[in-house]
Structure 1
Amino acid sequence: MDKILAPIKQRILQFVDYKQIERKNFFGELNVATSNFRGNALYSEVGGDVIAKILSSHPKLNAEWLLTGNGEMLKSEEATELIKTPPRVEIIEPIKVEGRNLMPKVVVVDDEDNDRIPLVSVKAQAGYLEGYEDCNYIEELPTYSLPEMRNGTFRMFQVNGFSMYPTLQDGSYVIGEFVENWEWLSDNRVCVVVTERDGVIVKRVINRAKERGFLYCKSDNRDYKHIKVMLEDVKEIWECKAHISFEFLDPITNYQKIAELEVNVSELQDKIKQLETQLLPEST
């Protein structure tokens, strides 16, 4: 099998064997059953939180190779040295307008003043409600650098649940840019809204901040309710600019539904024509 098409799980096993790590110990640290890496299960998807933990625990492992099969298994010595030096955390005095911060208090940059993107996983989101302004907390979060994510302040959040399905899958990641002024936020944008009452939520936002003092947060999945969030309950808003998913949706189901709908409509049209024929008066 071509290495680019080989499953991620296969490359994980390749790395474990290369490092001569006992498989039961390796998967025990990940809290993952070894049966998920045998037989047909080897070709199933692997959770993003598992990948993030592997990369965090093994900084020499090349993320590009793990995810795509491209490049070398291990990073070069130069890249490894950069990883060993943690990015610094800076405290920036926020600009305030009407009592609201127009920039985050804590930003993360490397030695060349390039912004780094902290990752707030599902497990870390409860702590983020208390630590989003704490440089010590932010410093403990893993950070990443992504292409095209420059000239702004960004956070990466892991999606929890299916309220935004199929737009966003459970366990995927969104990269949000800090919203400086909530009143400027355009309608119908997918955002991460950090709230006191509902925690960290990912929703499609209808902005009524200026007119009525709240945000109407919609779920793309119609099985989930919408949420009205008052401004006094909001701590931060991050407008989503990109997302990362390890699941590829199968469009066949949607196509099948459309095809079935077209057939049903065609049958209804035929029945209407038959009824019209039957109801027409007989010619004399």
Structure 2
Amino acid sequence: MNHWGENICFLRKQRNLSQDALAASLAISRVKLNAHENGRTVNPTAADLVTVSEFFEIPIDPLLKIRLDTLSENELQSLTAAGAGQPTGHDLRVLAITVNPQNEENVEFVPVKAKAGYRAGHRDPEYLASLPKFSFPDLPKGRTFRMFPTTGDSMLPIPEGSIVLASYVTDWLSIKADTRCILILNSEMEFVFKKVTVLKNNRLLLMSENARYIPYEVKMTEVLEIWEYDRFISQEIPERGTDLDEIKSMLGEMRRQLELR
């Protein structure tokens, strides 16, 4: 779907410009600008594409393909930085989202049966609109959240079949070592839930909480999206294991008892 006209209108109003003022800045007529904004220009010329892109400092591709009014403020700022030639991290990533009637971002849930289609539809607002939507009262502002189902026991003690609530990561190079993340892969594996560490060779090291699973690496080019773990939702209560602190405490108590004898 072409969002050219509505994006120009949105960007103009965001800068508090009248049609006359913007038309003058773009060196076009007000009639021509009005035709753009109202969708009467189906195929804008290359010159118009470049002129509008350079004025608003936003790449041509998202001007055409993404509804900019659905982006968070942080995502729109990142997009503007990319248009100005200042991308951050490994690459710039723009996320399609949905909003409620109050213009607040929804938290979309990707059910198991929708996992196969998510890889193809993750940038399509119409596909996202078909997913179940939820809201959480305590989520921080300025971040985009989504929920994903988990499978397998690689992240125990988080129970199998849990739902993970995670926030979208725009700058992959900002990920701290061993950060728990959901990764959407461009492969048959589709989703993985792992501890992520960024390596120097544009690769990511993926590790499981469960020591039975061997760590492995993936190329950044094999990853479509990364979502940082926030919390999980499960009907099961995680089993409590004996951790290192408990072992130390037990040894200390044994040592004290031996000293008293």
Which residue is equivalent to 1:61?
Answer: none
Paired with 2:183 and 2:143, the residues of 1 have a C-alpha distance of 18
Match of 2:94 among 99, 103, 106: 103
Matches within 5 A, 1:112-131: 112-131=102-121
Match of 2:223 among 225, 230, 234: 234
Paired with 1:182 and 1:136, the residues of 2 have a C-alpha distance of 26
Deviations along 1:68-125, one digit per CA (max 9) or x if unpaired, are: xxxxxxxxxxxxxxxxxxxx99655882538833331x11111111111000122211
Which residue is equivalent to 2:192?
Answer: 201
Provide the secondary structure at the position in 2 that maps to 1:215.
strand
Paired with 2:171 and 2:106, the residues of 1 have a C-alpha distance of 22
Paired with 2:179 and 2:100, the residues of 1 have a C-alpha distance of 30
Provide the secondary structure at the position in 2 that maps to 1:130.
helix
Structure 1 pair 129–172 and aligned structure 2 pair: CA distance change class (3 A): same
Match of 1:188 among 178, 197, 217: 178
Which residue is equivalent to 2:43?
Answer: none
C-alpha RMSD of matched pairs (Å): 3.3
Shift of 1:218: 0.4
**Structure 2 residue 122 is the aligned partner of structure 1 residue 132:** yes
Which residue is equivalent to 1:220?
Answer: 209
**Structure 2 residue 131 is the aligned partner of structure 1 residue 141:** yes
Paired with 1:262 and 1:164, the residues of 2 have a C-alpha distance of 26
CA contact (8 A) 1:159 1:174 kept: yes
Question: What letter matches 2:182 in structure 1?
Answer: V
Structure 1 pair 163–235 and aligned structure 2 pair: CA distance change class (3 A): same
**Structure 2 residue 225 is the aligned partner of structure 1 residue 247:** no
Shift of 1:130: 1.0
Unaligned stretches of 5+ residues in structure 1: 1-87, 271-284
Structure 1 length-normalised TM? 0.54
Paired with 1:185 and 1:143, the residues of 2 have a C-alpha distance of 27
Structure 1 pair 217–195 and aligned structure 2 pair: CA distance change class (3 A): same
Provide the secondary structure at the position in 1 that maps to 2:98.
strand
Which residue is equivalent to 2:50?
Answer: none
Shift of 1:186: 1.2
Deviations along 1:119-162, one digit per CA (max 9) or x if unpaired, are: 01222111111111112211111010012223211111011111
Q: Which portions of structure 1, spanning 4 or more consecutive aligned residues, are displaced by more than 4 angstroms?
A: 88-94
Structure 2 length-normalised TM? 0.59
CA contact (8 A) 1:90 1:108 kept: no
Deviations along 1:144-193, one digit per CA (max 9) or x if unpaired, are: 00122232111110111111011x21111111111111111111110011
Shift of 1:250: 3.7
Shift of 1:225: 2.4
Unaligned stretches of 5+ residues in structure 2: 1-66
